[in-house]
Structures are given as C-alpha cells and as structure tokens.
Amino acid sequence: MGIGEVGEALRRSTVHIRGASPRQPSAGSGVIWDTEGTIITNAHVIGKGAHWVELWDGRSLPADVKTRDDHRDLAKLKLPTTGLPAAAFRNIPVRPGELVIAVGNPLGFTGALTTGIVHAAGPFSGLGRRPWVQAAIRLAPGNSGGPLADAAGQVIGINTMIVSGGIALAIPSATVEEFVRNGARPRLGIAVRPVRVNRRGGLGLLILSVDRESPAERASLLIGDLLIGTQEATFTTSADLIDAITEADSGRLKLRFLRGDNPREREVVICLGDRLTQEAA
C-alpha cells in the first residue's frame, strides 16, 4: 500500500476524544484497539470527567473509562458498539531511520496526517528509565493519544508529547499491550516536588499531599517528609520514584526519607498491593 492508503486506514482506526458532550472541543485522539469497542488513549487526554468519542464515520458515542495509569499516561475506554475497524499493533522493535506516520486531531483538524522518521528508541534523558519511541515528526496539541505507525500502517506507539528539538515521544506498543493485558501499575498516592538536599548535594522529593487510604498513608508517610531514595539507590531525578514503584518486587517498596529537622534517615516499607484497575461505575 502507498502512504495514502495507509493513512486512510489509520484515519478509520483513530478517534476524536471530546469532553462531557459530543459538542465540546477536542481533548485529543485515541486508537481503536479491538472490534469490540476498546479505545486506547493517554490518561492526560481523558482527565477526570465524562467523555464522548467521535468515530471516523461521524458517529459520537459515550465512553466508559475502564482503566487509567497516570504513571504510564495510558487509559482504556469502552464504547457501547462493536464491529469497529481496529488498528494493527506491532511488537517488533523499531529502528532509527524508519519512516513513521502519525494521525490525530491537532488544533481542531480531524484526521490530520504527518510523516517523519524514527530518531531513537529507548529512554529519553530526564524522563527516567522507561522506554520511548522518539520520532522526528511534526505534531501539535490534539495528536496526543493518537497512533504513531510504521510505513505498513502497524501502530508502533501512542503519541504523548513533544520535547525540545521537535522530537515527538510515543509510548511503545509493547507497553500499551502490557497495560491492556495487566491493567494499571500500583500507585503510591502522593504528590511530590523535587528539592535540593544541600547537606547531601542530592535530590529529595518533598511530599506535598497524601491521598486518603493510599499505600503512602497506610505506611504513615506525612506531608513534609522528604524522600531521598530507595534501599538500593539515592534519587537523582523525580522520575526515579516512578521507576522504583514500577519495578518494586512483590509489591513492596522500601523508601528512605527525612522528617522535620532531624538529620537521621528513616526507612519505611510500603505495601503497594495489587495492580490497580479503576472500573467505571
């Protein structure tokens, strides 16, 4: 197939995510995962409210949020319909220089198509150890949640953000498939702000809030505590905490922290529990 045919097929598998009514402005894009009405998009696209999804054929349908994972910025929606044109997802690793195609709804344009090349595949500096598909491709607000595909039209990632130098970052399809299969990763239940720990010359994560009945609250972490690392390593970037939660063995995470003016390090073992899946009511 030529680029035009590939683009047409991708458009039919790409949806328009809107707000609490089908007439609200675009919040972003999504990809049809299967013929049974499953949609994959970014967690930051769906926010916290109700959503309508507009299909390529013009139909607008209400969507239930089935699962969301804010750490990996993924969400799974379900539409009350079947027989949808699902996209094909590719698990074969991508290589720099491959041609890629993005489809989305940037700046109010429906089904906009852009092309570029893979710049790199793997972690991006400053964003922890998680993998990304890095592509030199022109995207804009509204492309988030839409597909990044290879020249054959197979989806290799979900477009998520633009970083310095015009590089677009997409969540690899292998990560998306793991999310669909196993649900959201465990969460700690805190909001933090990076601060410098002067007497150590390192980075600390100051706890700004603790969610009620969260793993952090059950472990007696408090607002104002300063997280400085795990049992194995000291934090050097704010992404290190997310990586530590993701990689915690058996759902248990040991954190080192400081409290108040006491210079003595403390330790706490946090039971993250099972993977969390948020089912719509």
Residue 185's pLDDT band (boundaries 50, 70, 90)? confident
71 catalytic per annotation: no
Which pLDDT tens digit goes with each residue over 164-174?
778 999 999 99
| HEC profile of 87-149 | CCECCCCCCCCCEEEEEECHHHCCCEEEEEEEEEEECCCCCCCCCEEEEECCCCCCCCCCEEE
Which pLDDT tens digit goes with each residue over 231-261?
888 888 777 888 888 777 667 888 999 998 8
Residue 200's pLDDT band (boundaries 50, 70, 90)? low
Considering the candidates 44, 60, 70, 238, report the single residue annotated as catalytic: 44
The pLDDT value given to residue 170: 97
**Residue holding tokens 């472990």?**
219
Which pLDDT tens digit goes with each residue over 134-162?
999 999 888 999 999 999 999 999 999 99
The pLDDT value given to residue 222: 94
Considering the candidates 69, 73, 240, 243, report the single residue annotated as catalytic: 73
Residue 257 corresponds to which amino acid?
F
pLDDT greater than 60 at residue 274: no
Return the bridge partners of 89, or none: 155
Considering the candidates 26, 144, 173, 214, report the single residue annotated as catalytic: 144
73 catalytic per annotation: yes
Q: What is the pTM of this model?
A: 0.77
> What mean pLDDT is reported for the chain?
87
Average pLDDT of the segment spanning 62-71: 90
44 catalytic per annotation: yes
The pLDDT value given to residue 278: 28
The pLDDT value given to residue 201: 62
The pLDDT value given to residue 276: 32
| C-beta of residue 41 within 8 angstroms of C-beta of residue 48 | no
